[in-house]
Amino acid sequence: MTPMVDTFAVILIFLLLTSQMRSPEPANVDMPFSISETPIPDVNSMTFLISNDSKVYFNVDNGPDTTLKFRRKILEEMGKAYNIEFTDKELTLFEKYPSPIGLPIQNMKDFLNANSAERKNMETGIPIDSADNQLSMWILYARQVNPNVRATIKGDSETEIPAVQKVLNILQEKNVNRFNLVTSLEAVKINLDEIQK
Amino acid sequence: MAEIIQAEKGGKGGKKRAKKLLPHMDMTPMVDLMMLLITFFMLTTSLSKSKVMEMILPPKLKDPNAEPPKIIASRTLNILLGPENKIYWYTGGVSPDEYNNLPPVRETDYSAEGIRALLLERNRALFRKINDFEQQVLEGKIKIPRDSVQSAISKLKTDDDTGPIVLIKAYKKANYGNFVDILDEMNICGIARYTIMDIAFYENTMVEKAAGITPSTASTN
């Protein structure tokens, strides 16, 4: 029995040290593959999650320092722009919320006060049409609060391209021209002799 | 735990033999607990971090009357991402008087024999240059600091004047996976010059004609 316990202890410690918690995502995303080996940045990134039903979700991190509390400031700015007063409790809830959010800012108050089961039904995607382009506002304030923020796009491989292009266009209107596309690693080896024929 | 029971038994029965047994602990609950913890960690955490691929787009032209940059038609390779994981491609440009008589497009796919072979064939000179350079660095023939290898390769790419200029355009029925795939092929084949563009109306027609989509049904979708 002892060797078995030892093995389990080793596996357990290994998992504890090497893995990181996976934050739950509002939509299931099946990432495309690429040969890129650059790891995804931990801080200073705003993530645009585009699900395969073309809904857009937005996420931003709190910044490299725990005292910065960027998310809190961004929501405050958004509240000011849309005349919504967020209480201190709601701001803290948003600051700690780990997943991307995808809903109109008008529903944000109810969303933050709801429980997790109710929250699921409220995520309808961030409005991105030109009449009410809330995504562009999120980008504006995210960049105002944290000027070092980089755009990361996480799309499902089945998402139709117009949805992605819309998000890219909105970003380009805000002068964001560098993007990180999230992919899974896939090794590719090219045989030189093969191409010489 | 087990030991104590043994000791009590020994006290009651008065048998000295029981005391000599090696003390051993019941590990089963501990193993159960550990398996539970391992299962929990395996399900809630992810081992590998996701990777990112960098993409830089040219800034949008603010002035609507500004002339787009001119490129050499003979080096231009237009890649149209079509529906159902198909790629349509043609070379050169389309001048306005050709709109009624559009050049034919060739069909290929995302496999190694498809688009990769096409790109490598056109980009052979640069690809070999980069490959030779990397080989020589590995063998120690070129003494170069580890961190300047990438910038040396990008120097090779900027100096290149024979490889294709690839214009990537996505038809509305293409998906995001296709888009990432084609950018990935650019990196694999070491294409120096490529960009992503909005698809032109005549290219829409070209894809629809080649894929057998009637424009009327395509517009309702």
Q: What is the pLDDT of residues B110-166, one digit of tens each?
A: 888 888 888 888 888 888 888 888 888 888 887 888 778 888 888 888 887 788 888
**ipTM score assigned to the predicted complex:** 0.81
Interface test with B, best of A157, A161, A178, A191 (most B CBs within 10 A): A161
In a domain, B49, yes or no: no
- Residues B200, B135 share a domain: no
Looking at beta carbons, which residues of chain B come within 8 Å of A22? 44-46
Does some domain include residue B25?
yes
- CA A42, CA A49: separation in Å to the nearest integer? 16
Q: What is the CATH number of the domain that holds B103?
A: 3.30.420
Closest approach of chain B CAs to the CA of A2, in angstroms?
A: 8
Q: Which of A155, A177, A178 sits opposite B176 (nearest CB)?
A: A155
B175: nearest CB among A158, A177, A182 = A158
- Check CB contact of B48 with chain A, cutoff 8 Å: yes
Is residue B192 in a domain? Answer: yes
- Which residues does chain A have within 8 Å of residue B55's beta carbon, measured at their own beta carbons? 178-181
Q: How far is B31 from chain A (nearest CA, A)?
A: 6
Same domain, B109 and B185: yes
Domain presence at residue B138: yes
DSSP states of B132-178 as a string? HHHHHHHHTSS---GGGHHHHHHHHHHH--SS-EEEEEE-TT-BHHH
Q: How many domains does chain B have?
A: 3
Q: Mention every residue, 6+ apart, whose C-beta is less than 8 A from residue B65.
A: none
Q: Are residues B102 and B195 in the same domain?
A: yes
Largest CA distance in chain A: 69
Same domain, residue pair B108 and B171: yes
User: What distance lies between CA B1 and its chain's CA centroid?
Assistant: 57
**Are residues B139 and B168 located together in one domain of the fold?**
no
Is B212 within a domain? yes
Quick one: B117 and B24 in the same domain?
A: no
B51–A183 CB contact, under 8 Å: yes
Domain assignment present for B45: no
In 3D, which of B75, B81, B71, B77 has the Cα closest to residue B206?
B81
In three-state secondary structure terms, B2 is helix
Asked if B137 and B169 sit in the same domain, the reply is no
Q: Which domain holds residue B168?
A: 74-123+163-220
Q: Are residues B78 and B168 in the same domain?
A: yes
Residues B12 and B99 grouped into a single domain: no
Residue B189 domain flag: yes
Q: What is the pLDDT along chain A (197 residues), one digit of tens a residue?
A: 788 888 888 988 988 888 777 777 888 888 888 888 888 888 888 889 998 888 899 988 888 888 888 888 888 888 888 888 888 888 888 888 888 888 888 888 888 888 888 888 888 888 888 888 888 889 999 998 888 888 999 989 888 888 888 888 888 888 888 888 988 887 776 666 555 54
Considering only CB atoms, which chain A residues are within 8 Å of B36? none
- Cβ separation of A36 and B184 shorter than 8 Å? yes
Contact A159 B48 (CB under 8 A): no
Q: B107 and B187: one domain?
A: yes
